[in-house]
Homo-oligomer: A and B are copies of this chain.
Amino acid sequence: MRFTVTGCAGFIGSSLVDRLLQDGHSVKGFDNFSTGRHEFLAEAHRSSHFSLIEGDILDTSRLYAAIEGADFVFHLAANADVRHGIERPSKDIEQNTIATFNVLEAMRQAGVRRIAFSSTGSIYGEPEVFPTPESCPFPVQTSLYGASKLAGEGLISAYCEGYGITGYIFRFVSILGERYTHGHVFDFYRKLMRNSQEIEVLGNGKQRKSYLYIQDCINAIMTAIQHPQAQAKINIFNLGTDEYCSVDQSLGWICESLGLNPVRRYTGGERGWIGDSPFIFLDCSRIRTLGWKPQLTIPQSVKLTLDYLVSNPWLLEVR
């Protein structure tokens, strides 16, 4: 099959590109390299079935060129910065909501009929039910990131209904593993490299979060889009592990792995930042009924991510 992957040079995008190529598909990648890395596409470029179109997703003509002729679009391009939404609100709406609209319009014009979208557990805001299923009570948004992804989900669903497109929406917990470039492991590791004696923790450290290993995430996506039981107009799946950990626990694993014992200084409060969800724990039984299950636990994923960062110091350099 011919796949287009937007955000192809990102953490998840590039991992997916490699997998699609390994599985024998051809892939057109699209990225503006605002956060994506050329280095992550090194393996892809060795394949004759990979081509790259560099462009911003707000540039509709370049986007159309990337989407035209595809059988299936993975729309992973996004502003994935959950934390700084309130400093730059237009970024979320442009890069997540309008971007998704542009992808859908390009698909409609080019006659492409299948899309998968990287959504987020953040759209559950601060849920009342744990673990949170896909059909939990209608949530209220607490972050611009979540709101912009919810808007993307809504657009995709409406296009699926209106234009006979088949859609896959994956609501991720935080993903860890090789090519990880932002998030709490990254932040803690960088802080500890600068000062191994003391570390600042956003919030009270008791926020509970769930994580999933990148290859488990890719396996889940590939399982869903190929499964005969997931061919409805719109197919929505939580993706996570059946466990969670506190920020403090995770920092403990990081420190242990590095052989450090810094003093922890907490900024305080139940939330690390405005719009931070104090507890993210998704019910993933829907994707599990398709036969998928994660291979790595959260502590294993944290450790592996840290090992990757230690081996790739170039990622910590300010670009």
Contacts and interface: CB of A to CB of B under 8 A. Distances in A.
Given A136-B138, A137-B137, A85 B147 contact: no
A64 to B, nearest CB: 15
A236 B101 CA distance: 26
A89 B155 CA distance: 10
B161 A275 contact: yes
Interface string A147-182: 110110111011101110000000000000000000
A163 B234 contact: no
B89 A93 contact: no
A89 B102 CA distance: 11
The SS class assigned to the A binding surface is: helix
A139 interface: yes
A155 B146 CA distance: 9
Contacts of A150: 150-151, 154
A143 interface: yes
A137 B129 CA distance: 12
18 contacts: A85-B162, A89-B108, A93-B97, A93-B98, A93-B155, A136-B138, A137-B137, A138-B138, A140-B234, A141-B153, A141-B155, A142-B161, A146-B154, A146-B158, A147-B155, A147-B158, A148-B154, A151-B155
Given A140-B157, A157-B142, A86 B162 contact: yes
A185 interface: no
A23 B137 CA distance: 37
B134 A105 contact: no
B162 A154 contact: no
A249 B18 CA distance: 58
Given A97-B97, A140-B236, A162-B275, 19 more contacts: A85-B162, A89-B108, A90-B101, A93-B101, A93-B155, A141-B155, A141-B158, A144-B158, A144-B159, A144-B162, A146-B154, A146-B158, A147-B154, A147-B157, A147-B158, A150-B150, A150-B154, A151-B154, A161-B274
